[in-house]
Structure 1
Amino acid sequence: MNQTRVAAVQAEPKWLNKAAGVDHVIELIETAADAGAELIAFPETMLPGFPWWMWLNSVEWGDEFRARYQANSLTIDGRELAAISSVVKARKVCVSLGFAERSRDSVYLAQALISASGDLAVARKARPTGLEQTVFASGAASAPALVRDTGFARVGVLGGADHNRADARAGMRSAGEQVHVASWSGFTICHGDIDTSTDIVCATSVRYAIDHRVFVIAPVAVVPVRGWEVMDANQPDRRLLRGGGGVARIIGPSGQELAQPLPEGEEGIIYADLNLNLTRVVRRTAAPLITPDDRGSTADIEWA
C-alpha cells in the first residue's frame, strides 16, 4: 500500500516579523517531520501574515503598515527562504509555504513548493481579489501551474480565491496533481456574518477534492484579534475583526475528512496517512469531467 503521511498547519503568523516568522516555520517543520510527515503544508501568507488592515478602510493604518509589510516580505533569493530550504533538505521532507514575495517595489501573493532536495519552485497569484490589489501586484496569468513531482506524488498548490478561477483549476487538473494544497489565510473579518465564512471555505476544499479526485491538504492560519493589538500601531475601530478562523482540513478524493480538525482558535498540526492509490481508483470509476474554461466553452480533461 502506497502510504504517505501529510501535515496541515493551523497556526498564527508572527505578524510583520519575518525573522521570528522564519524561526516559527522551521520549528513547525521540525515538529511535523519528527511526527513522520513527508509533506508539510502552511497557510497563505504565513510569512509575514495576511494584511487584514486593508479591510478596515483606514488611510492612516494603511500607510503605516504598507511600508512595514513590504519590509517584512521575502525575496526569492533571500536568506529567509534559503534557511527554510536548508532545513527542508536536511529533514528530507517536502514543504508548501505561502508567503508575501517582494520584488523591487511590488509585493506578490506567492506560494513556494520546496522539494526534499531543497529545490524551490514559486508561483505568484495571478489575480488578487479587489481588496488584495491594494497591497499585492498581479502575477502572470500565463504562468504554469505549480505542480511538481515529489517522489511520492505529484503535488500542486493554489492559494485562497484562486480556487474560484476556472482557468486555474483546469491548469492544475491538466498537470496531473494527485495531492493538492489549498492554502488559506484564515478568517477574521465579519467572521460568521458573510459568505467568506469558514463553512464556505471548507466546502470549497471538499468540492475541489471531489471534482479533481485528489487528496486536499488545507492549511489555514489562526487570526486572533490580539495579533493586531500588540503591533504598536495607531489602531482604528476593530469592530470587524473577530478572532479564530482556523479550519485546517485534510480531505480524501471522495470528500471525506481524514483528520480530526482542531478547534478554530487552537494552534497545532493535523496529520493523515494517505493511500495514494485511491486517486487512481476514484478516477477510473468516476464519470469523466468536463470543465468550463474562462471563455464559457467546455473541454474534456484527460488524466495523466
Structure 2
Amino acid sequence: MSRTYRVAAVQAEPVWLDADATVHKTVTLIEQAAAQEASLIAFPETWLPGYPLFLWLGSVAGQIPFIARYHADSITVDGVHLTAIREAARRHRISVALGYSEKDHGTLYMAQSVIGPDGNVLLHRRKLKPTHVERTLFGESDGSHLKVVDGPLGRIGALNCWEHLQPLSKYAMYAQHEELHIAGWPAFGLYKGVAHALGGEANMAVTRTYALEGGCFVVAATQLLTEKAVEVFTDTEEQRALLTPGGGCSRVYGPDGSVLSAPLDEHSEGLALAEIDHALIDLAKNAADPAGHYARPDATRLLWDHRPRAAVLTPDGPHEPFFPDLEDTEAREE
C-alpha cells in the first residue's frame, strides 16, 4: 500500500441526462488527473447522468417528462458505460471513485463504485436513504452498504451527500478504520439564498467534520451548474429563480480538518488536487480516535446490522451486483 500519493476531486458539470456524453467527459477527466500524477480521482454524487435537479423544481406532474429520460440514461453495473470507465482506470493506472444513478431493472439507486487501477471494482454501495424528494425516484439500501474496504491506497469508503449528516452511519464507518473517504455531493446552486442547509457552507462544514471526527482524509467532489442546467431543467421564471449557476465546492480535507487543496472558483471546472500522507492519520488518531481509545462503550454503543436485506430470499443468498471481468482492452482495440 502506498503511504503517500496525490488525489483529485472533480468539480465539473455533467452533460445533463446524457450518459454517453458524460462517460466521454469522465474519461477525459480521468486522463487529466492521471497526467497530473493523481493516484485517485473522485466524482460527485449521481455524476452519471447528472443530479436530478427536476425533483426540486415543481410538482410531481411536472417531473414526469424527465423520469423516463432519467431512467433511460441511468447505468447498470454490467453495462457499457461503467465498463468504459473501468477500462480508462486500468489504461491510466488510476483509482476512480464514481457516483452514478444505478439502474437495477425497474429501480434506481444512488450508487458509488470505487474502481482500482487494474479496473476491478473494489467497493460498490448504494445510498441508504435518499434525501427528501429524492425518495420519489430512488430506492433505499441497507446496513451492508456502510462498508470500508482495503485497496492499494489504504482503507477506503464512501458516502453520498446528507449521509454525512447521519451520526450513527458515520460512526459505523469510523469503526472500520477508514483512511480515505469519498464524499459525493451534487452542486450547491439549488435554492441558493433560500435554504441554507442546501448550500456549500453548511455541507462543507459537515464534510470537514467527517475528516476531523474520523481522523481520515476526505475527497469531496461536487457538481457545477451553468446556464445549460437552467436551460435543461427550467421552464418558468419561478423555476429559474431556484437554480443559480455556480455551486462548485470541491476540496480535499486532512485528518486534522485542514483544507489541503487549492481553492477552485465556484463557477469553474477543474480538479482539486492534494497530497496524501498517511503519517498524518496516526497523529490525528493519537489525539482522538472516537471508535478506539477515545470511545466510551460503557456509556454508549452503536448497534450496526450489516447483513444484506433482500425482498426475496433464495438458497444461494441475496442478489449481489455482477461486475463482469474486463476483456483485454488493447487486444480488442487491435
What residue number does 1:3 align with?
Answer: 4
Identity %: 35
Give the corresponding residue for 1:40.
41
Alpha-carbon deviation of 1:100?
0.2
2:32 alignment partner in structure 1: 31
C-alpha contact 1:185 1:220 (8 A) present in aligned 2: yes
Code of the aligned partner of 1:118: G
Distance 2:26 2:250 in 1: 16
Assess if the C-alpha contact under 8 Å between 2:126 and 2:145 holds in 1. Answer: no
Q: Structure 1 pair 292/222, CA: closer, same or farther in 2 (3 Å)?
A: farther
1:251 paired residue among 250, 253, 259: 253
* Post-superposition offset of 1:59: 3.6
Q: RMSD over aligned Cα, in angstroms?
A: 2.1
Name which of 269, 289, 293 aligns with 2:271.
269
In structure 2, C-alpha distance between the alignment counterparts of 1:115 and 1:292, rounded to whole Å: 36
Residue 277 to residue 190, structure 1, CA distance change in 2 (3 Å): same
The superposition leaves residues 273-296 of structure 1 with CA deviations (integer Å, 9 ceiling, x where unpaired) of 111111012112336456799xxx
Mean Cα displacement is larger for which, 211-220 or 278-287?
A: 278-287
Native 8 Å contact 2:215 2:284 kept in 1? yes
- In structure 2, relative to structure 1, the CA distance for the partners of 1:288 and 1:76 (3 Å cut) is closer
State whether structure 2 residue 280 is matched by structure 1 residue 278. yes
> For residue 196 of structure 1, what is the aligned residue in structure 2?
198
Give the structure 1 partner of residue 114 of structure 2.
113
1:166 aligns with 2:167: yes
| Residue in structure 2 matching 1:211, options 210, 213, 221 | 213
Equivalent pair of 2:3/2:277 in contact (CA under 8 Å): yes
State the secondary structure of the residue aligned to 2:88: helix
Deviation at 1:152, TM superposition (A): 2.5
Q: How far apart, CA to CA, are the structure 2 residues paired with 1:110 and 1:223? A: 21
**TM-score when normalising by structure 2:** 0.83
**1:156 corresponding residue in structure 2:** 157
Q: Which amino acid aligns with 1:253?
A: P
Determine if contact 2:289/2:295 at 8 Å carries over to the other structure.
Answer: no
**8 Å contact kept, 1:96–1:113:** yes
Provide the rounded CA distance (Å) in 2 between the counterparts of 1:35 and 1:234. Answer: 37
Specify every segment of 5 or more residues in structure 2 that has no aligned partner in the other structure, as ranges.
304-334
> Using a 3 Å threshold, how does the CA distance of structure 1 residues 291 and 67 change in structure 2: closer, same or farther?
farther
Which sections of structure 1, spanning at least 5 residues, go unmatched? Answer: none
**Per-residue CA shift, 1:109-167, capped at 9, x if unaligned?**
1111111121123201111112100111112x221424222212111111101111223
> Is 2:112 the counterpart of 1:99?
no
Q: Distance in 2 between matches of 1:192 and 1:67?
A: 31
Structure 1 stretch displaced more, 28-37 or 179-188: 179-188
CA distance in structure 1 between the aligned counterparts of 2:218 and 2:295, rounded to whole angstroms: 19
Pairing of 1:53-72 with structure 2 (within 5 A): 53-72=54-73
Give yes or no for contact 1:146–1:158 (8 Å, CA) kept in 2.
no
Tell me the equivalent position of 1:85.
Answer: 86
Q: Describe the superposition over 1:181-202 as per-residue Cα deviations: whole angstroms up to 9, x where unpaired.
A: 1110111222133222110011
Contact 2:127 2:145 in 1 (8 A): no
Shift of 1:224: 2.2
Contact 2:215 2:256 in 1 (8 A): yes
Per-residue deviation, residues 224-259 of structure 1 (Å, max 9, x unmatched): 243231x3x772432211111100011111111111
Task: State the number of aligned residues.
Answer: 295
